[in-house]
Copies of this chain bind each other. A is one copy, B any other.
Amino acid sequence: MNHPAPPASVRRPVPAELLEALKAAFGERVSTSDAVRAHHGRDESPFDPQLPDAVVFARSTEDVQTAVKLCGQYNVPIIPYGNGSSLEGHLLAVEGGVSIDLSEMNQVLSIAAEDLTATVQAGVSRKALNEALRDTGLFFPIDPGADASIGGMSATRASGTNAVRYGTMRENVLGLTVVLADGRIVKTGTRARKSSAGYDLTRLFVGSEGTLGVITEITVRIYPQPEAVSAAVCTFPSMGAAVKSVIETIQLGVPIARVEFVDSLAIRAINRHSNLTLPESPTLFFEFHGTEAGVKEQAETVQQITADNAGSGFEWATRPEDRSRLWNARHSAYFAMLQLKPGCRAVTTDVCVPISRLAECVVETEQDLKGSPLPCPIVGHVGDGNFHVAMLIDPAKPEEFEEAERLNRRIVERALRMDGTCTGEHGVGLHKMGFLIDEHGADAIDAMRAIKHALDPRNLMNPGKIFSYTA
């Protein structure tokens, strides 16, 4: 198991002619200013920024095509940019090149209420889509926390708190418009809910992190807003008891919409942050969607299960203000955790394991963390077996980043031993290229590389990410 630092960047030359051609094509919508480049050469990862040579602000698929073709003429890399919220260095211009900013592609192109589909340009954020859906009685459930763009969420195969019920971007993207490395525009999928028509190009581009093409339009599934929503919270004496409750809930077929785990340290952070006195124990937050009678029945069933597993303080609520109060702790967890260590930055792990191994995985992880000088609260999408350790480091201290990397390595190694994955929802980017080989084996990575070579033979599309272009 090895996890090398990102490969040293070898920036490719960006000829003045390319910049001239981009300016001729895009006018004010291309920038080489330091400020704009700096904004586009970073993301929410702990890596130092690496700046693109220019940024193009695209407004249409044809704009993207123009930029891709021009870059191709000069063998210059292309890095798609949505809202800048990715976590693993996806946006860094490690070989230089042109960042294509899609944030001005912010049109909701169509909403088909009868079909429960919406088609959006890639720069539409999940909140903007939900704003557009507000009066239709429908919603888009995928919620990765940040107000990410739908294009970026597709590219990283994002999910979040609702995935236990509604799935991830993998299950919720029906079709895509993609500009390929050679500038051709392909449409994958249709608006049919299912299809057996040839290779699943849609699922190939979902999660490809910009390395196979630029996603410019996305058709997603949308859902009826539930008639009723209820929320519950419950405290447990141990992680094992909490996870056992979730397993039994799922095995009984209770269609929970969300179930989130917060560990004792994160609760302590929340208590400090919000001046609360929650029991500093492993805690589960539930949300139920359904009919009035249905959510009541779900909550009662879960209350019984948690009681059988030594859960205490079970509270549930249906009125929006009461639900907000119950979930407030979960919602404020991220900022509360950051305040455990003023000035810190969070380096976040993202393993996902079969739920039968989750308690063991978290408990062993907690043992690792106890021996570390870093504060490391844990939150988890427990219904999926996915949890995040937020390792709080002082960005001025390289040794703390090294310590976080050491912990992350141990956590990933453990997850892989348990038949899990190094990344449940954040993607590989620069950060997990070594782990990817450990997870899938060199032959599977070779197959991925062969696909990359076939679709992007000059390695123009977001080079240096996911796996090495050369074996």
Contact = CB atoms under 8 A, between A and B. Distances in A.
Interface of A: 112-117, 137, 156-159, 163, 167-168, 170-171, 180, 184-188, 190-201, 203-204, 206-208, 212, 223-224, 226-227, 247, 250-253, 255, 289-291, 293-294, 297, 350, 352-356, 384-386, 415-416, 419-428, 432, 435-436, 439-441, 443-448, 450-455, 466-467
Nearest to A452: B199
B424 A194 contact: yes
Nearest to A114: B356
B443 A185 contact: yes
A444 to B, nearest CB: 4
Contacts of A440: 186-188, 197-198, 201
Contacts of A198: 207, 428, 436, 440, 445, 448, 466-467
A444 B168 CA distance: 24
Contact of A226 (B227, B253, B350, B419): B253
A444 B194 contact: no
Contacts of A355: 114-115, 193
A200 B170 contact: yes
Contacts of A452: 199
A88 to B, nearest CB: 9
Top 3 A-B pairs, shortest CB-CB distance: A203-B203, A454-B454, A114-B356
Given A186-B443, A441-B187, A196 B448 contact: no
A127 to B, nearest CB: 21
A192 B424 contact: yes
A293 B300 CA distance: 13
A453 B451 contact: no
A454 B450 contact: yes
A180 B448 CA distance: 13
A454 B192 CA distance: 29
Contacts of A356: 112, 114-115
- Most B Cβ at <10 Å: residue of A115, A227, A439, A455: A115
Contact of A224 (B184, B199, B252): B252
- Most B Cβ at <10 Å: residue of A207, A247, A436: A207
Nearest to A227: B253
Contacts of A197: 421-423, 428, 432, 435-436, 439-440
A353 B466 contact: no
B191 A199 contact: no
A163 B171 CA distance: 13
A466 B156 CA distance: 29
B420 A192 contact: yes
B192 A354 contact: yes
A135 to B, nearest CB: 14
Nearest to A156: B196
A436 B355 CA distance: 39
A260 to B, nearest CB: 15
A196 to B, nearest CB: 4
Contact of A353 (B192, B250, B293): B192
A16 to B, nearest CB: 32
A295 to B, nearest CB: 11
Given A197-B435, A224-B252, 9 more contacts: A113-B251, A159-B194, A170-B203, A186-B444, A192-B419, A192-B424, A193-B384, A199-B466, A201-B447
